[in-house]
Each structure stands twice: as structure tokens, then as C-alpha cells.
Amino acid sequence: MSVETNGPATNQAAPVSPVMVPSTGPITREELQLASRNHALPLEMLRWPITPVGMHYLLIHFDIPKVDPISWRLRLGGLVDHPLEFTLPELKHRERRTVPVTMECAGNGRSRLEPRPVSQPWDQGGVGTAEWTGTPLAPILHEAGIASDGVELVFTGADRGVQGGTEHQYARSLSIEDAMGDDVLLAYEVNGQPLPPQHGYPLRLLVPGWYGMTSVKWLESIEAVAKPFEGYQQAIAYRYQQGPDDPGTPVQRIRLRALMVPPGIPDFFTRNRLVPAGPVLLEGRAWSGTHPIERVEVSVDGEWAESHLEPQAGAYAWRAWTFPWVAAAGEHELACRAIDTAGTVQPNEAEWNYQGMGNNSVQRVKVTVRN
């Protein structure tokens, strides 16, 4: 096993494959274990514009660290003119900004792929929208002054473990330009409360529009570096690849997606839906980190029609949509899809990749309607 410092990953002969081989077999114990730890949004919670704390999705690679807020510091160093260090009160005294942001796990939808990339086995609940409060990162970077040879910033959290045979603290990088984005925050509150431990207390990075792995939790250090970061979570995990030897491309911005609240009532075990015949208001949310959502279409048994789209609460927040349906007795398949201002339509079929990233294929909900 190799050990990664904040510098490039060493990746010497690893005792296990850095990424698990996709499977056509049954769900494994390890996947079940991950599904229990990493909480999904139950889809009926799409009824809430802001996801209550405890219902927002969570993907936690290692253990949730218990950080002492008194001794905790954020350190900004590396290729900067003025290395800086902040206490939590110091950060809270800076400019304060609150922004509603839809965050999604890059692996959302993974367990629907065939063969199935073996990792956190998300169905479709790896998403949530919260009001994050923090201070903008750009002014802090300006104060530190990035040296002319700095090309990236490496953000490192307090959480440590082993993944793909490499021991490391969770770390991700951004280009200087992306990190300077006006909406990038150092966030210390969610939904008006101090961050709970599981969301990165006392401080996390928040990069609106990007998949959640970018928004490093339990943030401890920001380091300006002279060449692209090659840590495990950057260079190996979170890539769109066609196979283990494909260098692939990095996973970055959230792809467009619409989800609906499964209508009616569920069966406890199968989650099959039972809907009373008559008028039903189908509802859901749609979002994208790439281009704004232009419309959402709903299909009943294959016939697509436009939904009613509500105004957006913020540039990075999901939009509510509704679709009135008169349900007739029998079996039906409902579906929804988002279309963005660039004309991109959510794919009908999943686009497979080796790590199961960015699967934004159309959601289908089977319902039994009865008189």
C-alpha cells in the first residue's frame, strides 16, 4: 500500500486494484455496508425546496472526523506570497453569503449500470439542496497572492483512510480560475445552523454546480501548487473512463437531471407504488450544473409532454415542476426528463462508464392505478 501526502500520489504496487472491477453479480456485503453509511435522499423529500438536514445525501469516504473547533485552523500556503491561517471566528467575521445549492454525488445512478461499477451503490437519491452560508474564497486568495507559477489549489480535509490501496487524506484540486469563481465559498453553516459533523464541521469548501466530491469537507488546508495534483481522488477516482487503462476525463460539473416524487403510496418492501384513479399532480425537481434548465418533460406510457416549471430560487438551486395527470386504472410507466438551454436532453439509456460516474439517464416509475 502506498501513502499519499499532500503532494502527488506515489501509487507504488498496490495490493488491490485502485478501482474495483465492474460486476454482473449480485449486490455485495461491501456495497450494502456503503449504502447504509452513505445516506440517500428518499425521493418523497423532493417535495421540499430546501432539503432538511438529515435528508440531504451524504457520501463519506472514510470516517466522520471529530474536529476540535478551538485548535482547528484553516491554513493557506504553498506557492503564495503571504501564507495565511484562520480560526473559525476569523472566517465568520469576513463577508458572509448564503446561497441555495443543489449538490449531487458524481456516482448517483451508479447501481443502475450494467455491468455495475462496484462502489457506493447509489440508486437515484444521491442529491439534495441546502442553503449554505460561508465566506467567498476569492478575496482570501487575493490576500494570500498566488505566485506566478501556481496552477492549482489543493484542498485537503481532515478525513483519512485507504482507497484503492493508497492511504491518504481526502484531497481534491481546482484550477486557480475555478477556485476564484465568484460563488465558491468556505461554508460554515447549512440551513442556518453550524455545519453538523457529517457535512464537514467546522468548515467545508462549496463549489456550486460541481459534483459533490469537489466540495471538500472538514477542510484543513489549501495549498497552491505548480503542477496538476495527482492525488488518488483527483487522478484515479472521479474520472469518466471506458476501462481500467483508459486515462479518461475528469468528472466536474453536474449533468442535467429531473426526478419525480413517486406518486401514491408505497409497498414497504418493494417500494412499488399504488395510485388511486383520478387526478394526480405529479411533481419533482430538475437541476444542472452545466446549463440552466429550460424545460422538463413528463411521459406517461411513452408519450412526452411539457410540465409546468416553477421559478428558480437561485442560479444553483433545483427548479420545481408539476404535471397534472388523470390516472386511469391499470399499470403505467411514468418518466421525466430535463432539457437545458443548450438543447441537451437527458439520455433515455444510461451511458456506461467504468467508475459509474454521471449516470443521468431518465427516471422511470412504475405505478399501479386502481379505482
Contact between 162 and 1 under an 8 Å Cβ cutoff? The reply is yes
CA–CA separation, 337 vs 345, rounded Å? 7
Residue nearer to a second copy on the CB measure, 247 or 268 = 268
Choose among 205, 87, 201: nearest CA to 135.
205
CB of 263 to a second copy, least distance (A): 10
In the complex, least distance from residue 61 CB atom to a second copy, rounded to whole angstroms: 5
Residue 181 or 194: which CB sits closer to a second copy?
194
CB closer to a second copy out of 299 and 368: 368
Distance CA 365, CA 289 (A): 24
Q: What is the DSSP letter of 317?
A: S
Which residues of this chain interact with a second copy, rule CB under 8 A? Answer: 20, 25-37, 39-40, 42, 44-45, 47-48, 52-56, 58, 60-64, 66, 111, 118-119, 121-123, 125, 160-164, 167, 196-199, 262, 265-271, 274
Between CA 180 and CA 218 the distance in angstroms is 20
Question: Which residue's CB is nearer to a second copy, number 267 or number 301?
Answer: 267
Least Cβ distance, residue 185 to a second copy (angstroms):
20
Q: Helix/strand/coil (H, E, C) string of 32-84? A: HHHHHHCCCCCHHHHHCCCCCCCCCCCCCCCCCCCCCCCCCCEEEEECECCCE
Say how far apart CA 52 and CA 46 lie, in whole Å: 11
237 vs 317 by CB, closer to a second copy: 237
Minimal distance in Å, beta carbon 294 to a second copy? Answer: 28
Cis ω for the linkage preceding 8 (within 30 of 0): no
CB of 54 to a second copy, least distance (A): 3
Vertex 88 angle, CA 85 and 90, to 5°: 65
* In the complex, least distance from residue 268 CB atom to a second copy, rounded to whole angstroms: 4
Spatial CA neighbour of 187 closest among 130, 104, 252: 130
Please, are residues 87 and 105 in contact by the beta-carbon 8 Å criterion? Answer: no
Residue number with CB closer to a second copy (64 or 184): 64
> Minimum Å distance from CB 18 to a second copy?
11
Phi, psi of 141 (to 5 degrees): -65, -40
Least separation in angstroms between residue 58's CB and a second copy is 8
Task: Name the residue nearer to a second copy (CB basis): 118 or 184.
Answer: 118
Number of alpha carbons in the 13 Å side-chain half-sphere of residue 124: 19
CB 56 within 8 A of CB 41: yes
Query: 62 or 240, CB closer to a second copy?
Result: 62
